[in-house]
């Protein structure tokens, strides 16, 4: 995956209802990080390939959409 400068790429793991996200994956030059409504950001590169390759479960989010979800969870982007 090609990253542009310091701009992270966000993916949302769709919930079973498809109307919300179970967790958010952020990929940037420092690695792959994951957060959910309960747990704060944690580095975990195991999510990178799954998020990038599984369009059925993950939706690539633009920065504004990711920030909106993260704000609801009291997380910094």
Domain ranges across the chain: 9-72
In order along its 77 residues, the chain shows pLDDT tens digits of 444 457 899 999 999 876 789 999 999 999 999 999 999 999 999 999 999 999 999 999 999 999 999 999 999 98
CA–CA separation, 19 vs 33, rounded Å?
A: 22
Residue 10's DSSP bridge partners are: 26, 61
- The sign of the torsion formed by the CA atoms of 69, 20, 26, 32 equals positive
CA–CA separation, 58 vs 9, rounded Å?
A: 12
Residue 16's pLDDT is what?
A: 84
């Amino acid at each position: 995956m090609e990253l542009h400068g310091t701009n992270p790429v966000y993916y949302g793991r769709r919930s079973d209802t498809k109307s919300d996200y179970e967790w958010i994956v952020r990929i940037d030059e420092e690695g792959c990080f994951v957060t959910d409504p309960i747990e704060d950001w944690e580095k975990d590169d195991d999510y990178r390939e799954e998020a990038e390759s599984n369009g059925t479960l993950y939706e690539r989010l633009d920065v504004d959409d990711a920030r909106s979800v993260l704000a609801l969870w009291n997380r910094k982007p």
